[in-house]
């Protein structure tokens, strides 16, 4: 039989996972490690430097996607606004009426 003293519920306000979920993913960690490595035949440059230079060259030639990628990386993506009109009361009322009809229609 197992030990029952370990089977205690958490205290109110106490987390069962105080460290939380890891913030980085396995692939992200591996890519970061690989990007720091020296690229072959690149005069001592890292993979990150080689990729950044390639992106800059494409942008310099007018590649719009490369320009957008650089802008997003350097300045951050532009925020998009969303216009939203919501009549919560009428929407809620319609749902209540529809629910009452479904209940009333049951055999």
Position 60 scores a pLDDT of: 97
**How is residue 24 annotated by DSSP?**
S
pTM over 0.95: no
For residue 3, being part of any structural domain is answered with: no
For residue 6, being part of any structural domain is answered with: no
Contacts of residue 66, defined as CB under 8 A and 6 or more positions apart, other chains included, come to: 55, 56, 58, 59
Position 56 scores a pLDDT of: 96
- Domains contained in the chain, number: 1
For residue 84, being part of any structural domain is answered with: yes
Position 2 scores a pLDDT of: 64
pLDDT mean values, one per 10 residues, the chain (107 residues): 69 77 82 94 94 96 95 89 75 85 85
Domain hosting 55: range is 26-104
For residue 7, being part of any structural domain is answered with: no
Angle at which helices 26-35 and 47-60 cross, to 10°: 80
């Amino acid at each position: 039989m197992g030990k029952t003293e370990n089977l205690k519920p958490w205290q109110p306000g106490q987390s069962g996972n105080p460290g939380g979920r890891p913030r980085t993913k396995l692939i992200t960690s591996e890519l970061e490690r690989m990007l720091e490595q020296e690229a072959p035949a690149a005069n001592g440059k890292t993979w990150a430097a080689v990729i950044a230079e390639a992106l800059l060259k494409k942008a310099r030639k007018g590649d719009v996607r490369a320009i957008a990628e650089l802008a997003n990386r350097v300045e951050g993506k532009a925020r998009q606004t969303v216009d939203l009109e919501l009549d919560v009361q009428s929407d809620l009322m319609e749902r209540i009426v529809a629910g009452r009809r479904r209940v009333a229609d049951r055999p």
